Structure 1
Amino acid sequence: MDLGDCYRLLGLRSGASFADIKSSYRRLAQQYHPDINPNDIRAKDKFIALTEAYKVLLTVVPSEEIAQPLINSSPSRRDATQPTRSEKVPTSTVTAEKPPKPKPPKAAKPPNLVEIEQRLKWKTYEQLQRFLKERRFPQAIALVEALAARLPTDTEVRQWQAIAYQIWGRALLTENQLLKARIYLKKALKTDPNNKALSIEVQRDFQKLEQLD
């Protein structure tokens, strides 16, 4: 992947600033992230390509705090205190000042993956809420399971997953799909076994289920 391809993938012109590259990558990464687009192979490939392009550009485009000192110390800028040829300056009273050495470029920093994952987590939560409100239960379950696979140690995500299972189990109860309802209610208990409030509610759901059997 050459530099031209990297800029085009991020929707930028060649020579874009570090800030523009960073901003464009964050925006596109959120748009094409696999958690936001589950089972979308094209989105996944796009996300991988964007990340590779971003990493390449980070190795050749200095950040703003690096670029500024390099510009200020450029040899093309003439020192205002340097005498012209027409000025006669006693050589005994003038010493040549060495130009400041440019700072070595810092190692390119990778994108803040923790920050990106947190943003994706809460965007996924918002989407999950919409799916549940619209009773699009299969989509809600697929979405929260994908997020749980990505963040397996996140207690909040585990709670969302258990609640989604319970909500679908209750919906199946009202539709008299008792076997399927039992499966998802059991999943709710297994996913978040330490949630006492959830456990009490699920036990009540099981009682209703027993009455319908």
Structure 2
Amino acid sequence: MLLLQAIDTAHKVIDTVGKAIQPSAAAPQEELRIGDLLVKGGWVMVPIGILAVLGLVIFFERYFTIRKASKDESNLMGMVRSSILSGKLDSAIAICKNSNSPLGRMLAKGLLRIGRPIKDIEGAIENIGKLEVSKLEKNIAILGIVAGIAPMFGFLGTIVGVIKIFFDISKTDNYSLSVISGGLYVKMITSAAGLVVGLVAYVLYNILNIMVDKVILKLETDAIEFIDLLEEPSK
């Protein structure tokens, strides 16, 4: 008799546990969405987002500008060479001005100085070259600033998250995960976002600098070739 009662009690317990587990098992699991995570990062995500947008805008604007300046100018050098050798100085100047390129503006300044000592021509070309390089480097430094500031905002978010954790604990006097999760979200999300934005900005900053260095090397090579061309008749 006692055995039958024990078995009956066990069945009742199993049924109760099964009913308790069933609703939780049937409940749909909450999906982890990037948008929701960014929102949980708090107000610190706003400046980090602004820095991310600013960095991308500067990169693409500078990228296409530098890429345009780095196009092959062998045809320009060939036409200038043939015009100079045939004595058509005005034609060479017009070709350089119509090219609307950094090399064209450098050569045009040098052609306008023909008749003066070679050192004066070199100085004029060098000065224009510096101006052209400064135009290419415009705003690139801002991208470097973004690379440095974004992780600092992430660290600021970490501090804000820790403050939020202690504030929530002081209000509820509860150390459960549900209480501190809000501060943990702010802490981890802002740190990750700041590091990602800073890392991407740093990579893009160096890519632009490498592109500018290649343009500078090309301009210097073409400038040397142009000076050699002017010295040929006097050799």
Q: Which has the higher helix share?
A: 2
Same fold (TM over 0.5): no
Where relative contact order (Cα < 8 A, 6+ residues apart) is larger, the structure is 2
Larger radius of gyration: 2
Range class of TM-score, shorter chain: under 0.3
* TM value normalised by structure 2: 0.25
* TM value normalised by structure 1: 0.26
